[in-house]
Structure formats: C-alpha cells, structure tokens
Chain A
Amino acid sequence: MALVLSGQGEKTSPVLKWTRKYSAYLCYPLALAGIVWLLLLPLPSFSRRAYFSENAMMPGQAKTAFGTHEHVAATNMIDTELQALQESNKDDAATRASALLGVFEKLGLDSEMQRFKFEHVPGIGETKGTNVHGILRAPRSDAVEALLIAASWTTSDNRTNINAVRLMAGLAKFASEQTYWAKDVIFVVTDSGEKGIEAWLRAYHGINAVAPIHVRSGIIQAAMSLELPAAAKYSELGVFFEGKSGELPNLDFVNIVQRISQIERIPAFLHGMRDPPRGASLYERYMRSAHLLLRQVRSQAIGLTVGVHAPFLRYRIDALTISGIVSADDPVGSQSSVTGGVAPEMVSPATIRALGRTIESTMRSLNNLLEHFHQSFFFYILPANQRYISIGDYIPAAGLMVGSLLFQAMHLWWMQGSDDLRSSNARTRIERMNKYYSLLRRTLPNGLGIILRVHALGVLLLAIPLVVPHAVLTHTTSTAYVFTMGLASISMVLHISDVYWAARKRALVDWRQLKALIEVYVAVALACLSVMNFSLAVVMFAVVGLPLLVTRVCEYTTKKQRVANLVVLLATSPICVLGLWRTALLGLNPMDFASSPFRLFLEDFHHFSSLMYPLLCLVYWPVNLLCMVVALIP
C-alpha cells in the first residue's frame, strides 16, 4: 500500500522519491543496455574456455579397442537380417523392428519390442510405432544404473539413419566382450523419432504405461542419440544438446564429447558449425558466434527442431545427439535421400572405427561416473566450440530488460490520472487524496476487467483444441482456427475500446494505469522464464516486452502516432510473427505453407508438455491484444 500511496507524494522514502524522479528516464536506457548486453555476448572476451569439472570421467584416457574385424562385421548383421526378412514381404516398420530384435538377440542382449500408439494432437490422429531395445547386462554389477544409446530409423531431416543402427550393432558386439562395465548399456531404436523415445521413456518410468515394457534396467544416467545419415564417410560430427523447453545436459557431457571426438580425429562441432579459421578477424569470429548463439536460441526457445535426445532431458537424464555431417560431394549421401527401399551403402570401415571409438571412449567416461552429473553447469550458452558463457554472465541482460519494464510501470503508475493529482500544493492535499482514491476506485476495476476478459479469450484459445480436437484436425483447419480466433480477438479489442470511447467523458479507464498493470505482469512472467529458459525469455521480450515498452510512449498528439503504434503492434502480433518469421524462427521450409506452427506447438505441448503453447495462448496473445487496447482507448 505504501507504493500506491507514495504515488501521490505522501510519506515517501528517499529511495522511492529518487526512483520517482528518474524512472521516466531510466526505462529506455535499461532496455537498451539489456539489448547491448545481448549483442556483446558473442564477443570472445565474454566467454570462458570449457574445462572438465568432474575429474572422475577422465575423458580420452582409456585405451580404445573398438574396431576389430568382428566389430565391423557385426555392423553388417542388420543388413543380413533385413534381407532375410524382406523376402517374406512384410510391412516395412515391422520388418525392421523384428530384424533388429533378431540382431539384438543374436548379440546376447536382453531385448524386447514395444508397440505403442500415439495421438498427433489430443484426441486426433493415431499413429502406431515400434521401439526395440536391448540391454547389455553389466557383469557383476547390481544393475541399478544404465547408460543408453538411442537412434531413430529416420533422422530429424527425414533421411534414413541406417548407419546409426549398424554402428549400434557393432557397439553392442564390442561392449558384450568387455567386462569393465559398471552400468548396464541399453540400446534403443525407435521408428517414430522423438515421440517414439517419449513413449519408451514413459513406459520405462512407469508413467501412463499404455504399452508397458518388461525388460528393464536401473536409473538411466546418461543417453546419447546417434544420427548418421547414409554417406560414404563423415569427416566431422555435429553435437546437438538443447531440450524441448530449454533443458540442457550437463556442460561436462558436451565437453567430453567434443574432446574425445577431437582425439579420435572426427571432430564434433556444436550444431555442426566449424570454428572460424585461426587468423580470422574479430568481426568474423563475432558473426560466427552470433550465428551459433542464434541457432541455440531458436532450438531452446521454440524446441521444434531438436533431436531424439530431447525427451530424455525431461526425465533428468543428460542426453545429446551426435550427428554425422555428410559433405556435399559425398557419393552415397547425395544419391539416397529416400528412406526405406534398398538400404544404402555402408560407411567406410575407417569412419566406422573412428565413430565407434568416439562413442566407446565417451561411454567409458560416462561409465566412470560415480554419481549423477552434477559438477558442471546446467545453465549455459555456448558461443563457440569449447567455450561457454555461464548463467552469471548472461542473466544480467534479462535483469536489465525486466528492470526497464518495471521502471516504466512505476513511472506510469505515478503519472496516472490528471495533472492536478500531482501538484505539490500543500493546501489541496486532502482534496488530492480524495481525487486519487476516487480515480482508483473508478478505473482499477475496469482495468483489471479488461485484462481478465482478454485473458479469458486466451484461455479459450488454449482450451478449444483440447476440448474439441476437430478444430485442429489438420494443419489447414488449425490455421483457419487461429485466424478465426484472431478475428474474434480483434473484434473484442475494438469492442472494448469502443465502449470506453463512448464514455470517455467519465474517464472510466486510464491507459497509464492499464499499461502499468500489464507491464508488471509481463515483467514477472519474463523474470520467471529467464531463469528456466533464457532463450525463450529473450524471444518473449522481443515479441512482447519491446512492443509493450513502445506502446503509447506518451500521450498521443496526432492520429498518425496512434496508427503507427497500431501497425507496430500488428506486426508483432502472434499471427504475424508466426506467419512471417516461420522460416527464421521455426526452421520450417519457406515453401511449406501446409504446416501450422500453432498445431506444431500444440503437438509439442501434448507429447512433451513444452511451454511454448501455453505461453503463446496465455501470455503472448493476450498481452498483444492488451497493448492494442492501450493504444486504442482514450
């Protein structure tokens, strides 16, 4: 209450007086500082060199043994099995699964096949999938911990992942000969990507066990997923580590993979992006880092284009994807982009050996772990290979942004009402207080009412697809649904502003007060978000916070200002942003007009309960509308 009262200059502390005096001038510099801070992040001096925090792992210390003739021969097993089964002409997914099961059993793993179904969006579109997993029991261990290697039959860009499955067979053969395992090793192959892994993980953790599995091991400590599209050789690898809603594996895990792959001469780069050459200029380095950071921000914030490792992170399993990068002139990689049909050629034995040793060595490091990953950072962004920016160095940017919103909110709260409320004439004090309270009593319920009404619309937007799944039956219908809701929202905004325009003599609502309330709300939401998922918070600030800051900077004097403001708001409205920026933000094919981002978010929310869908419906959409209301009311 002190803050509410102090707005009128009563009993203020010096600090409040000071902020009151300067808050108007502080908010824009703060926002600017936040943005500059973000722009500085790619600078080499901002990041630190990666190091290994957990000494027990001893990356690259073990002598690698993978790559004997038998191991390479084992990679062929899956092809032989597939051929044997293909003659019986069965359906493709089932053939592959049973072929793989055969391979796992031949290698002496405890294996099982899991058939499951999943819905595309809640209530609609069932797809069947099959997972096969084999568990290598560690000798003389108590089977309470496990490491996991996963692969999907198709890579995330829809190429066949046969080489990963082949390599897996080789690794299983190799691992079953070793006696040093302290943890079981689980091999999982799914035929439906992230959703398949999610179904497997749910069954494994006994959550919502529709398709239970019976062959299990203990707690999974770490997981690696492999993506090796058809190619003759890979000269470098890519590491992908972002989770669905900004979860990250422990930094140590990323580091050991990078270090070991370097030792094995098949270097793994973050997102497959090479470092700039040694003599590169600062500008070149900066641009490269900025590009890498932007890619991370995109994966972390949107979470649509990650990898098979993403579901693991939700179960507190550190995971990442190692992906083979096919060079453009690869003889095998260029010809076969089709999945199924004739299995493409094998990778060269040398590549198999290097890959296998990289994974073997990583597995041994993980095997050395005495406890769950906990030493190194869990919150970081990686501006270049083997460099990191820790949470302490990037979170101030978010703080500055949130701060700017808060300062503007304070300023607006003090400035609400007419000018005579702020006159310092002592004789009118009582009168001024009365006026102030009557203003609050008159406008506050209306302001809160507007906020509630607009949010109710957001709830509706969120809930309708869950209650009436047919609204989002296909991508086209969901686009139509979003546009319908967009029209409904616009008419709601127009209606609200119309009502208050009609009664503008009575000053039922005060735009400063309304904006201050929204700003406080957005600031709180962003502050919470920034510690969970920094990238998402930054993106949200760009599409929600910044437009809010520039909405009705001061009282409009001309109509042009109002129109310009509305144009800005429309440009940053969810429909516009998702429609126009889909390529940049979501990584969708620019020509792919058939897929609706809204539906993709809904799918993600349904399968992985990722944050994007509720945030879109409950924060982004309503706040954008509220900004329009602020711009439109008298």
Chain B
Amino acid sequence: IASYNSVEELYLSFTQGNWRQDAWGYPPTRSQGVGAEVVARINGTEEESQRKWKGLTNALSGVFCASLNFIDDENTSVPRLAFNAQTRKNGDTNVAERHATLRHGFLPRENVCTENLTPWIKQLPCQAKSGLGALLNPYRLYNMHFHSMGISLVPVVGTTGGGQTGLVYKQHITVVLDSRTFELGNSWTLGELMDRDIQEACPVASKSTVRVVIPGEGVQVFPEPERRESLAGQNTYVYDIQRQNAAEIRFETANAADNKEAPTQLPVVAAHRHVNGHGGSGGGVETEIINRGSQPLEITYFDSLPWYLRVYLHTLAIEAVGSDGRATKLHPTETMFTPAIDRGRPSSIELTMTLPANTRTVLRYSFDKGFIKYTEHPPDANRGFNIGPAIISYRSDAHRPLSCALQTPRPRGQSECVVRVYTELFLASLPTPDFSMPYNVITFTCTVLALFFGRIFNLLTRDFAVLKDSD
C-alpha cells in the first residue's frame, strides 16, 4: 500500500480513552487523541498526493476494518509546522524539494473494538498463536481505561548499506488496565492479567524481549530479570521470552491505598482544552497549556476545527499566567491559519510560541456555529459533534519521555525528540432540528401531494366525453 501510494511516512493509530497525564505521566505512545488518527507524508504534486491520500485512507480502512474512508477533504488538514518539526531539524531539506505533502486526518467519533484489533494482530509475525501476541485477549484489552493501537512507517537510512532509505514498519499497542477491575489482588502475573497464557515464543522472530519499566518503589517484579538497564531514567528489567515465559512475570504492588503518590515524573507540558459558552449560536475554545519546566519552552500548537465552527482569528488571545498570578500577553512567533471552506476543508491553526517557565498559558479564540443541512447530520443519535484534539508538540532533549526512549531505530544523529501532547476532545452541539418533525412533514406533504397529483393528473390526461348511443 505504501509504495503504491508513494507514502514516505505513515502513522496510524486508534485510541480510546483519555491519557490522564496527571496520574500516568508521559505516555509511551505518540498519539493520545481519542479517535482514529492518520498522518502520512505522500510524495507527488498537490493533486497527485491528494488523490493518493484518498487511496491510502481507503486502503487502510479496508485493512483495519475501520471507517477511515470517511477521512475526506472535510476533515483532512495539511499541517505545516506541527509535524514537520522532526524532519526540518534533521536538515533534510529534500522533503520540500520533493513536494511531499503531509496530511493529517482525524476521526474523533471512531470507536475502537475487536474488529480493528483482529487485523492488527494478524500482522504480527506469529499472530495470536504464540509469542507475545498470544497475550492479546480482547476481552481484557477492552475492559480498560486507555487503549491505543496503531502502526507506523518511519523512513530510516537502510542498515543494509548504500545509504538507501527504507521504511520501518512498527506496530504498537498501549493499554492501561486496572487490576482491581478483574478482581486480582496486589499480586498478579501478566498471564493472569490478560487471562491468557503463552505456550512458546514466536518461532519466526529473531528476537523477542519484554521490557518492564519499573515506575517507582511500590512495585516488585519476579522473577529476577536477565538484564537490568535504564530506560528514560527509570529502572527497566529485560526478559528474553525465548527463555522465559512472559506470562509468568509476576508483579507485586504495595497496598493500593499506599500507592496513591503522584507519578514520579509529571510531563513538562500538560494541555487541556475545553469549549466555552452554551447555546446554539456561538462559543469559544480555550486551551490551557501548562509549562511545568523551569525553562522557557518552544511549542507548536496545532488545532483543526471543522468548517461549521467558524473561527475568528482576531479573537485569538494568548495569556501566560505565572505562578505569582501575573498575566502577560504572549505573541506567537509564527502563525499559520488556514481558513475553512464550507463543506470543503476544515480551518486549522498552527502557532509557534515560547512558553515562559512555570506558567499556565491560556489560549482563547471564539467561533460561531454554522447551520448544517439536516442531511449532513450523522445518522446516529445526535449528542453533538466530536471535535478532534489539539496537538501540542515540543522538543524534549532529555530522554525522559518513554515514547522517545523507545524510538528505535532513532532517526540518525538525533539527540532530541518531539513529544506530542493531545488535548481532550470537545463536543460541539449545533442547533439541531427535531428530526422527527421533518419526517412528519415529509410524510404528510407527500400524502397530500399524492392525492392532489392523482386527481389533477386524472383530470388532465383523461378526456371525458359523452358517448352517444349511436356510436
């Protein structure tokens, strides 16, 4: 699929549940936005890549049994700053020359379930027969607090020599489970947690390891690991499951009540977004970005709103509130705004700005709610429209975030990596017609029309004449 659509870089993830940063720390994966996200860099001219993007999403939708084919012009945006940071830093200037366009599509309504998981598992070398894949029990995986799975294709310079660029295919799955939900006590094994057992390691795999990252003091892991190493500044136990059955790794946690201390490291940047106002005419978006670090930090803010939320850029106000409660106005160093086209494309805002140290930055802008045709409402129950998350990306030079530390093979010569923070979704409740009303009206008028039409048609087409007996 990738080569057919000249994909240079691809990232796809399905997520359910919000990643609660304040309780769970850095996310181990890249994407935490609820819904389905596709990011792809596609080679070719504007039109060509547009067409191929369409092809790509349709193909992916077939592969993963998801409604990715609903990603069309209306919810695809072309971010220029948010996702390019990585490549640009690399000094990889060819990208621009090769006219590769990066597109970002987001389906916030997408629900993840087993039918998406099964094709994902099928792409594992041993599927769910043996190896770690055997642990993936959908009953347990979906009884969770957070779930994210996906694939990515990252260009790397080939190891086979010749400096040729290849694509590395990676699959990831992230789940947050609560052992209390399954009535497991303070001591459980991986096998018990997933209610599955591993018979043998995947025979096709050349290497299969389990790394257990120990978050803090309260957790003990048995048996003793083969190797200990440090990953993202945390103790990590490494097991080779070709020798050790991963399902038997036992975790013992201290009593849940004592284990309530804050995570060892809160992410440097936290972001929350919510919608302001009530009623059907207008509203506003307010995003809070908290910089916990002691140093100013450059971030890129990316937010894409569908066309029926008409954004007013002039209402954009950014204010940083320090720990002393003083507010200062911030000015973005770079602003890119793509206005929306009705039923054509979403509006997107990209801002680059520097957050002062230890501040809570509030970013506000308002919008008007547009009317949409009654046929444009989705056929489901109408609770409003889910609006995809805003994405804040910043460069973290430390190896602190797990997602960075796990990024292997690391793009060449890169000592820092980009961390992305996804905000919550919000619900835009548009003025909604009472759908049963048009239905009644339609049936009623149709009946009247039918009766009326029948009579008139009869009158017009029939010729009434008196027949004489003699005829």
Contacts and interface: CB of A to CB of B under 8 A. Distances in A.
Whether chains A and B associate is yes
B429 A219 contact: yes
Given A144-B424, A206-B276, A137 B20 contact: yes
A324 B125 CA distance: 62
Contact of B424 (A140, A142, A370, A374): A142
Q: Of B277, B383, B429, B434, which is in contact with the most chain A CB atoms at under 10 Å from its CB?
A: B383
Interface string B113-146: 0000000000000000000000000000011111
B284 interface: yes
B278 A315 contact: yes
Contacts of A423: none
B272 A214 contact: yes
B311 interface: no
Interface of A: 56, 108, 110, 137, 139-145, 177, 179, 205-207, 214, 216, 218-219, 221, 315-316, 370-372, 374
A221 B429 CA distance: 11
Nearest to A110: B22
Interface centre among A140, A141, A219, A370 (most CB of B within 10 A): A140
A372 B17 CA distance: 21
Contacts of B35: 142
B257 to A, nearest CB: 9
A295 B275 CA distance: 37
Contacts of B22: 110
Contacts, number: 82
A316 B279 contact: yes
B18 A137 contact: yes
B145 A207 contact: no
A140 B146 contact: yes
Nearest to B35: A142
A611 B274 CA distance: 30
B17 A141 contact: yes
B365 to A, nearest CB: 12
Closest 6 CB pairs of A and B: A206-B276, A370-B381, A142-B34, A140-B17, A144-B427, A371-B383
Given A137-B20, A218-B426, A205 B288 contact: no
30 contacts: A56-B381, A137-B20, A139-B17, A139-B144, A139-B178, A140-B16, A140-B145, A140-B147, A141-B17, A142-B34, A142-B386, A142-B425, A143-B424, A144-B386, A144-B424, A145-B383, A177-B180, A179-B143, A205-B276, A205-B277, A206-B276, A206-B277, A206-B286, A207-B277, A216-B272, A218-B274, A370-B380, A372-B383, A372-B429, A374-B434
A144 B425 contact: yes
Nearest to B284: A206
Nearest to B260: A108
Interface string B83-100: 000000000000000000
B384 interface: yes
Given A142-B34, A144-B386, A205-B278, 18 more contacts: A137-B20, A139-B178, A140-B16, A142-B18, A142-B386, A142-B424, A142-B425, A143-B424, A177-B180, A179-B181, A206-B274, A206-B284, A207-B276, A219-B427, A371-B381, A371-B382, A371-B383, A372-B383
Contacts of A221: 383
A319 to B, nearest CB: 13
Interface string B2-33: 00000000000000111010100000000000
B105 interface: no
A596 to B, nearest CB: 32
Interface string B375-393: 0000011111010000000
A56 B34 CA distance: 25
Contacts of B180: 177
Contacts of B383: 145, 221, 370-372
A196 to B, nearest CB: 19
Contacts of B145: 139-140
A137 B18 CA distance: 9
Contacts of A144: 384, 386, 424-427
Contacts of A141: 17-18
Contacts of B424: 142-144, 218
Contacts of B286: 206
A371 B383 CA distance: 4
Interface in B264-308: 272, 274-279, 284, 286, 288
Given A142-B34, A371-B382, A214 B288 contact: yes
Interface in B134-173: 142-147
Nearest to A178: B181
A605 B382 CA distance: 34
A221 B383 CA distance: 9
The interface centre, meaning the residue of B144, B178, B181, B274 with most chain A CB atoms within 10 A of its CB, is B274
B401 interface: no
A140 B278 CA distance: 26
A316 B276 CA distance: 13
Contacts of B382: 371-372
A108 B20 CA distance: 13
A350 B271 CA distance: 44
Nearest to B427: A144
B369 to A, nearest CB: 13
Contacts of B79: none
B108 interface: yes
Contacts of B432: 374
Interface string B337-379: 0000000000000000000000010000000000000000000
A110 B272 CA distance: 14
A141 B275 CA distance: 17
Nearest to B280: A316
A207 B434 CA distance: 28
A136 to B, nearest CB: 12
A142 B260 CA distance: 24
Given A139-B17, A145-B383, A206-B284, A218 B427 contact: yes
A218 B385 CA distance: 12
Nearest to B15: A142
Contacts of B146: 140
Contacts of A214: 272, 288, 360
A615 to B, nearest CB: 22
A177, A206, A218, A374 interface centre (most CB from chain B within 10 Å): A206
A141 B35 CA distance: 11
Contacts of A371: 381-383
A122 B168 CA distance: 66
A196 B145 CA distance: 33
B358 to A, nearest CB: 15
Q: Which of B260, B288, B424 has the most CB of A within 10 A?
A: B424
A601 to B, nearest CB: 24
A144 B34 CA distance: 10
A219 B20 contact: no
Nearest to B424: A143
Interface string B395-433: 000000000000000000000000000001111010010
A143 B108 CA distance: 12
B178 to A, nearest CB: 8
A417 B35 CA distance: 75
B31 to A, nearest CB: 14
Nearest to A56: B381
Nearest to A374: B434
Contacts of A145: 383, 427
B421 to A, nearest CB: 15
A296 B274 CA distance: 36
Most interface-central of A143, A145, A207, A221 (chain B CB within 10 A): A143
B17 A142 contact: yes
A110 B16 CA distance: 20
Contacts of A316: 278-279
B18 A143 contact: yes
A219 B385 CA distance: 12
Contacts of A205: 276-278
A137 B424 CA distance: 12
B143 to A, nearest CB: 7
Contacts of A108: 260
A532 to B, nearest CB: 15
Contacts of A370: 380-381, 383
